[in-house]
C-alpha cells in the first residue's frame, strides 16, 4: 500500500485545495488546505489531509475544516488546523483542537542595535542568556511563586509579571488578549497540573521552544516597517515558549475525561482523539476555563522570559533595556480556542475558533486590536527553523473573510524527532550552522539534531503561500545569529 495519501484534492486556485465533503460519509463541511504544488508533496506523504477530513465530522462546524501550509500530523486534528463551531447551535469544543502545549506562542522584541555594532558580542549574549534563562525538560525557574500567587497567575496572566516589576504596561498592550483571557477558573485545574507548573514560570522548556537573536535581512513593506520602527540590519529577539507541563497536563486530563462525553451527548467522530463536548455543556465550559488558566500561565511565562532577556542584555552592555530600545512588537498564541464573532455566508455568528499550530491574523480596524495596530492590522510572528529565517507579517481583511482571521504558525515538521536523530549527523550540522554564522547553545546534543533545519519545511515556502493567498502580508524577514534550545 502507498505511503502517499490517496484521497481527493481538488484545486481551487494556486494556493488552496479542497477535500470535498463527499469524500467520507459524515463530513459536515469541506476540507480546505492552503498550499502550493511543492508543499503538497510533503502534505500528502504525511497523511495529515485525513485529519483535515476527520475534523469536518465535528458537530457545529461551519464553513470548512481549514489547514495552513505548515500542516503536519498531530494528535486528533493536524498541526496547522483551524476550525470554528457555532456555539449557539450544537457547536463543540475539543482539547485536541487546541493541543497539548496550550498557548504555545511567540513574542518578538526589537532593539536599537544594528548588526555591525554588536556582531562581536553575539556569542557573549548567547552564553549569558543560556546562563540566565532556564531551559530544557522540566526546567525550573528563578522566579518562584507561592501557591496563592500561582492561582493569581492563572487569572491575571502577564499582568501578574508586570505588577511584580517584570515588565511595563506597554508590554500588555502588545500582547494578544492583553496577556490574559477573562473567565479562567483555577478550580477547573487538577492538582497534578499545579504540581507540574509551580516551578516553571520564566522557563523556556524543550523541543521546538527557543530563544533567538536575529537580524532583519529583508524588508517587504517599507511603510509598515517605518510604522513598527524596523530597519534593515536591525537586531531583534524572538521568544518561543508555552504553558509547559502545566498546559500539557490540562490537555491530557480533559482529553481523557471527554471520551465519556462522546456517548453522553451522542457525538460520533471517526477518531477518539477528537473527544469533545458541546461548548455550552458543563464539560465544555469546564475545559474552556481550564484552558484559559493555561493560556494565562503561558503569557505570564513569556513575559517573565522577556524580563530575563532584557536583564541579560543589560548585563552584557551595561545600560538599561529602555536605552537599548528593547520594546515588545507583539506576542501571539499558536494553540488556543477563542470565542469570536465572524461573518459566515453573510451572517454574523458567535463561534468557538480553534487554532492548533495556527496564528490569529486579524485585519486592520478589528476591535480586538490595540490602538497602535488598528491601522496596520495585527502583527503576525512566524518563526522558521534555526538555520533559515523567521518573519513578521500582519493580518488582513481577506483572512477575516476566509480563515476566521488566521494564518500559519511556523515552518512545520517534515521529519519526526526520531527520524531526525537517526538521519542527521550532529557534527556536520554544527559545522553547517557555524558556516552560516549561527551560534547554538542547547541543554543536549539530541535537541539540536531533533530541531535541525532538515527536519522542517522551508519557512520561506510556507510564508510565500499565506502571503500570496492574501491571508497575511509580509512586513520583514529575519535570519538567526544565535539560538538557545531547551
Q: What is the pLDDT of residues 168-187, one digit of tens each?
A: 999 999 999 999 999 999 99
CB neighbours of residue 168 within 10 Å: 13
SS3 378: coil
Q: How far apart are CA 448 and CA 446, in angstroms?
A: 5
Answer whether 477's CB lies under 8 Å from 390's CB.
yes
Strand partners, 478: 216, 390
- Nearest alpha-carbon partner for 27 in 51, 54, 6: 54
Q: Which of 85-89, 134-138, 156-160, 449-453 has the lowest mean pLDDT?
A: 134-138
SS3 130: helix
pLDDT at residue 1 greater than cutoff 50: no
Answer whether 414's CB lies under 8 Å from 42's CB.
yes
- Nearest alpha-carbon partner for 120 in 235, 239, 237: 235
CA angle 302, 411, 173 (to 5 degrees): 30
pLDDT at residue 199, as a whole number:
66
Give the pLDDT mean for 461-474.
98
Answer whether 358's CB lies under 8 Å from 81's CB.
yes
Could you tell me which residue, 22 or 133, shows the higher pLDDT? 22
Query: pTM for the whole thing?
Result: 0.95
Alpha-carbon torsion 73, 6, 2, 464, what sign?
negative
- Nearest alpha-carbon partner for 135 in 195, 235, 208, 213: 208
User: 351: alpha, beta or left, given left = phi > 0 and alpha = psi -120 to 50?
Assistant: beta
CATH superfamily of 10-485: tRNA-splicing ligase RtcB (3.90.1860.10)
Q: How far apart are CA 412 and CA 34, in angstroms?
A: 13
Please give the DSSP secondary-structure letter assigned to residue 353.
Answer: E
Answer whether 393's CB lies under 8 Å from 348's CB.
no
pLDDT at residue 147 greater than cutoff 70: yes
How long a stretch of residues is the chain?
486
- Nearest alpha-carbon partner for 119 in 483, 485, 482, 484: 482
SS3 482: strand
The CA radius of gyration of the chain, in Å to the nearest whole number, is 21
Answer whether 353's CB lies under 8 Å from 84's CB.
yes
pLDDT band at 140 (very low <50, low <70, confident <90, very high): low
pLDDT at residue 146, as a whole number:
74
| Strands 92-93 vs 406-407: parallel, antiparallel or unpaired | unpaired
| Strands 105-114 vs 328-333: parallel, antiparallel or unpaired | antiparallel
SS3 460: helix
pLDDT at residue 139, as a whole number:
57
pLDDT at residue 2 greater than cutoff 70: no
- Nearest alpha-carbon partner for 379 in 367, 368, 363, 390: 363
Answer whether 305's CB lies under 8 Å from 239's CB.
yes
Longest dimension (CA), the chain: 65
pLDDT at residue 197 greater than cutoff 80: no
Q: Where are the alpha helices (DSSP H) in 68-190?
A: 115-118, 122-132, 147-156, 158-163, 169-173
Q: Which three cell numbers, joined as nine digits, stand for 131?
A: 546562563
Q: Which three cell numbers, joined as nine digits, stand for 205?
A: 522548556
Q: How far apart are CA 452 and CA 421, in angstroms?
A: 9
Q: Which three cell numbers, joined as nine digits, stand for 486?
A: 531547551
pLDDT at residue 105 greater than cutoff 70: yes
Answer whether 456's CB lies under 8 Å from 370's CB.
no
Answer whether 76's CB lies under 8 Å from 51's CB.
yes
In the chain, where are the structural domains located?
A: 10-485
Give the pLDDT mean for 87-110.
97
- Of 334, 354, 366, 409, the active-site residue reads 409
Please give the DSSP secondary-structure letter assigned to residue 78.
Answer: P
Give the pLDDT mean for 52-77.
97
Mean pLDDT taken over the chain = 93
240 is a catalytic site residue = no
pLDDT at residue 430, as a whole number:
87
pLDDT band at 138 (very low <50, low <70, confident <90, very high): low
Amino acid at each position: 500500500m502507498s505511503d502517499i495519501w490517496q484521497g481527493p484534492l481538488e484545486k481551487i486556485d494556486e494556493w488552496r485545495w479542497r477535500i470535498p465533503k463527499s469524500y467520507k460519509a459524515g463530513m459536515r463541511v469541506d476540507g480546505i488546505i492552503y498550499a502550493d504544488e511543492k508543499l503538497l508533496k510533503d502534505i500528502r506523504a504525511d497523511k495529515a489531509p485525513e485529519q483535515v477530513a476527520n475534523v469536518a465530522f465535528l458537530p457545529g462546524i461551519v464553513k470548512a475544516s481549514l489547514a495552513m501550509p505548515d500542516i503536519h500530523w498531530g494528535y486528533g486534528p493536524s498541526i496547522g488546523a483551524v476550525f470554528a463551531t457555532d456555539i449557539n447551535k450544537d457547536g463543540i469544543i475539543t482539547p485536541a483542537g487546541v493541543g497539548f502545549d496550550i498557548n504555545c506562542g511567540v513574542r518578538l522584541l526589537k532593539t536599537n542595535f544594528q548588526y555591525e555594532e554588536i556582531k562581536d558580542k553575539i556569542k557573549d549574549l548567547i552564553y549569558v542568556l543560556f546562563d540566565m534563562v532556564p531551559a530544557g525538560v522540566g526546567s525550573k525557574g528563578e522566579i518562584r511563586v507561592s501557591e496563592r500567587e500561582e492561582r493569581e497567575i492563572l487569572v491575571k496572566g502577564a499582568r501578574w509579571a508586570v505588577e511584580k516589576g517584570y515588565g511595563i504596561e506597554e508590554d500588555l498592550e502588545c500582547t494578544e488578549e492583553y496577556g490574559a483571557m477573562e473567565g479562567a477558573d483555577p478550580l477547573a485545574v487538577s492538582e497534578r497540573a499545579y504540581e507540574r507548573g509551580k516551578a516553571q514560570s520564566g522557563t523556556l522548556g524543550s523541543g521546538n521552544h527557543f530563544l533567538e537573536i536575529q537580524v532583519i535581512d529583508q524588508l517587504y513593506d517599507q511603510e509598515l516597517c517605518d510604522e513598527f520602527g524596523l530597519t534593515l540590519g536591525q537586531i531583534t529577539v524572538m521568544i518561543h515558549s508555552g504553558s509547559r507541563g502545566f498546559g500539557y497536563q490540562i490537555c491530557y486530563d480533559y482529553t481523557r475525561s471527554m471520551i465519556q462525553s462522546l456517548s453522553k451527548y451522542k457525538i460520533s467522530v471517526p477518531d477518539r482523539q477528537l473527544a469533545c463536548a458541546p461548548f455550552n455543556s458543563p464539560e465544555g465550559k469546564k475545559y474552556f476555563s481550564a484552558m484559559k488558566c493555561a493560556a494565562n500561565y503561558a503569557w505570564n511565562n513569556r513575559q517573565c522570559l522577556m524580563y530575563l532577556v532584557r536583564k541579560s542584555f543589560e548585563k552584557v552592555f551595561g545600560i538599561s533595556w529602555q536605552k537599548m530600545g528593547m520594546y515588545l512588537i507583539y506576542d501571539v498564541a499558536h494553540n488556543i480556542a477563542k470565542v469570536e464573532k465572524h461573518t459566515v455566508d453573510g451572517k454574523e455568528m458567535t463561534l468557538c475558533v480553534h487554532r492548533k499550530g495556527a496564528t490569529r491574523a486579524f485585519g486592520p480596524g478589528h476591535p480586538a486590536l490595540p490602538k497602535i495596530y488598528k491601522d496596520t492590522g495585527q502583527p503576525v510572528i512566524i518563526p522558521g527553523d534555526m538555520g533559515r529565517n523567521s518573519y513578521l507579517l500582519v493580518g488582513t481583511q481577506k483572512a477575516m473573510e476566509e480563515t476566521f482571521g488566521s494564518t500559519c504558525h511556523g515552518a512545520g515538521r517534515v521529519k519526526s524527532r526520531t527520524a531526525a536523530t537517526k538521519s542527521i549527523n550532529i557534527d556536520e550540522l554544527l559545522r553547517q550552522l557555524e558556516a552560516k554564522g549561527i551560534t547554538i547553545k542547547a541543554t543536549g546534543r539530541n535537541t539540536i539534531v531533533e530541531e535541525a533545519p532538515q527536519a522542517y519545511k522551508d519557512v520561506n515556502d510556507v510564508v510565500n503561500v499565506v502571503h500570496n493567498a492574501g491571508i497575511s502580508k509580509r512586513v520583514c524577514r529575519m535570519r538567526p545569529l544565535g539560538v538557545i534550545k531547551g
